Structure 1
Amino acid sequence: MMNAVSKNSGCMFFLYGHGGTGKTFICNALSVVVRSEKVIVINSASSGIVSLLIQGGRIAHSRFGLSIIVHGSSTFSIKQQSPQAELLIEAKLIILDKTPMMHRQILPIGLKASWQDIVHATINSSPLWRECLVMKLHKNMRLQSDATSSNEDEIREFDEWILRIENGEAEITRMDFFHRRAIQRPTNESVIYLNDYLSSLIEEEENVYLSFDSLCGDKAGSEINAEIYSTEFLNTISCSGLPPHELKLKKGVHVILVRNIDQA
């Protein structure tokens, strides 16, 4: 990869490996080394969560001006002589994480698609695929870092189980497999209720943090809106993409932190 960058040979590489083999580590390490040579690197990913794992990451739709819904006449929204265009011109290396999931940021899904349509949507069907040099990672570095003489066999068995799932060899045949294993909730309200209940089972001191809700003021009807939409009412709103008014934290309770990916 470094040879391709230094010679400006215009190569494409596909780094393949199951979870824990070190793909993100290699991408970050390569990015650091290339930047040390005064070369511009663009890091992007298929989704917001993935972009948090790579240094300087942005989601591909934001970085390359991609449409969320792609169709036959879709084009890039990057304008000539814009900062984004200049960045692409100067870049010598583009690292795009999770490329097989670029089809709507998830694995290929086609509405009422046939088997042929689904296969055609995969990255292997792209005309660019035959130009890619495929490199494979086999060793699970994440598990090896925690390996000891006592749990070595258990870690090896777990690693092989992951590979069987990836290869479609560990399919679930028992109808009751997910019984007492999964919890499905249809609304945010029920999710919050469930989270509060599970949190109550942990005997630790609870810290509660409140959001600050207020109406955006306008000259036309700010006083009327203030009477209708009180702060107490705003605190009760729970919709998709909006965190609850109360943030309850305890030791032992998992919390996911997400930053705003649209930095501009």
Structure 2
Amino acid sequence: MPFALRRLFATLLVFCEPNNPRSLWEKFYDALSEDHRQNLQLTAEQVQNITLDHIASFIESMGKKIPGYNLTACNKASIIRNKPTKEIEAELQIPISEEDIHMKVLLNNAQRAAFDLIMHHIKQHLGGGFFIDGPGGTGKTFLYRALLAAIRSEGSIAIATASTGIAAANLPGGRTAHSHFKIPLDINSSTGCNVGKQNAVATLIRKTKLISWDEVPMAKKQNIEAFEAMLRDVFSNKTIFTGKVAVFGGEFRQVPPISPRSTREECINNSLVESTLWPHLHILRLTENMRALHDPQFSSFLLDVGNGTYNNIDEDLITIPECMTINTKEGSNPILTLVEHIYPDFTENAFKSNYLTSRAILTPKNEFVDEINKVLMNQFPRSSYTYTSFDKATNDKQENYP
């Protein structure tokens, strides 16, 4: 198909470096433009321009520019490609919800102070790096979404990234930092991001006003340093962050050992705090737990555990508060006791949606999930049915189902 041929043609130009690209263009032009020539409403010049435009798009995605190949005498493609790249178009098309736009007026005092400072740096073109430090529940994601909506609602570009796919999914248009900035999976101090100065990612970064990176304590310091080095390379500038505003965020209290032989401190020593960027970041702290706003005792408990100051029995153990435990009688089934505590009067309330959706039991292992589900299903006041799935059709002589 012509579309596939245009992509092949672009690949040949970029990676095979033919001696005479124009002769290839002239020889195979009819095949490359066949689908557009069938549109009788287009003139011959318009067909050529559209074909060149599509090839230019493929070439840009490979890090090159079409004018360097001189496919036509007047090289109209240099004019055509003034329109935004597909990366820029994709960022500009990210939907902005009314809820996100309204978040700005719902910020608490600490979030508002951080929001205003970051927006001041953006509007005054001051650049700089920020680190949002806050325990889980203090509204870091809420703040990111407010910032992203504020920038995007003005028609500008804001890039949302995170160290993990789960965290990225919480942000509109979010992607992992490895995906967005082409960070190699196996990185060291001598390698960097696979972003060339002239490719589409570099063009996108130049037009970006804000870059956010959530869960950054989970990333190796080499990843973060490679990202910042990429910024300096793209802008040909030795200044840190080169006038761009980068907002990092996360909580070092949540950094766990990655193997039995490594300690939490060893993990932290390989992260952002030990990078060359840490002294240049503005540290903005969020302390008010918005998820447990009406339970200050629980918020305080979480902070103390994270800081390592709560009633430690030894290095690895703490005493759980009585209000968070369920006492079981000697000889009783602890799973059944837990179920009865979380789902009291289950039989009478089994068909009430509010009752079922307002409570849950979380477990560290799937085997416990199965055991708890079995206990609850045995208590359900109706008969159970098993629906079996099949992965092939039986007696399908007509082969209706491949």
Give the TM-score range, shorter chain.
0.5 to 0.7
Q: Which residue of 1 aligns with 2:230?
A: none
1:129 aligns with 2:278: yes
Q: Which has the higher strand share?
A: 1
Aligned partner letter, 2:279: R
What's 2:298 paired with? 158
- Alignment partner for residue 89 of structure 1, among 200, 206, 211? 206
Q: Sort the Cα spacing of 1:38 and 1:195 in 2 relative to 1 into closer, same or farther, 3 A.
A: same
Matched residue, 1:7: 124
Give the whole-Å Cα distance in 2 for the aligned partners of 1:122 and 1:204: 53
Q: For residue 86 of structure 1, give the secondary structure of its aligned residue in structure 2.
A: helix
User: Which one-letter code corresponds to 1:139 in the other structure?
Assistant: E
More helix by share: 2
RMSD between superposed Cα atoms in Å: 3.8
The match for 1:43 is 160
Structure 2: distance between partners of 1:60 and 1:204: 49
Tell me the percent identity: 28
SS where residue 305 of structure 2 aligns? helix
Could you tell me whether the CA contact under 8 Å between 2:311 and 2:319 is conserved in 1? no
The number of equivalent residue pairs is 203
Task: Report the Cα offset of residue 47 of structure 1.
Answer: 0.6
Residues 74-128 of structure 1: per-residue CA shift (max 9 Å, x gap): 3212344333222112111101111111139983757756898545313211121
Distance 1:59 1:99 in 2: 11
Stretch moving more, 114-123 or 129-138: 114-123
Q: Secondary structure at the match of 1:93?
A: strand
Q: CA deviation at 1:143?
A: 2.0
The reply to whether residue 138 of structure 1 matches residue 287 of structure 2 is: yes
Unaligned runs of 5+ in 1: 148-154, 215-230, 232-264
Q: Name the TM-score, length of structure 2 as normaliser.
A: 0.43
By relative contact order (CA 8 Å, sep 6+), the higher-ranking structure is: 1
Q: In structure 2, what is the equivalent of residue 52 of structure 1?
A: 169
| Residue type of the alignment partner of 1:133 | H
Q: After TM superposition, what 4+ stretches of structure 1 lie above 4 angstroms from structure 2?
A: 108-119, 174-178, 180-185, 190-196, 204-214
TM-score, normalised to structure 1, is: 0.62
**Aligned-partner residue type, residue 134 of structure 2:** G
Shift of 1:40: 0.8
Mapped to 1, the partners of 2:385 and 2:129 lie a distance apart of 50
**Whole-angstrom CA distance in 1 between matches of 2:388 and 2:162:** 33
Residue 107 (1) aligns with residue 255 (2):
yes
CA distance in 1, matches of 2:381, 2:201: 49
Structure whose CA Rg is larger:
2
Q: For structure 2, which runs of at least 5 residues remain unmatched after alignment?
A: 1-117, 224-249, 326-333, 336-361, 393-401
1:33-59 alpha-carbon deviations (Å, 9 max, x no partner): 111222210000011111111121111
Counterpart position of 1:72: 189
The question of whether the paired residues in 2 share the 8 Å contact of 1:43 and 1:55 is answered with yes
Q: Deviations over 1:123-143 (max 9, x none)?
A: 211121111111111211222
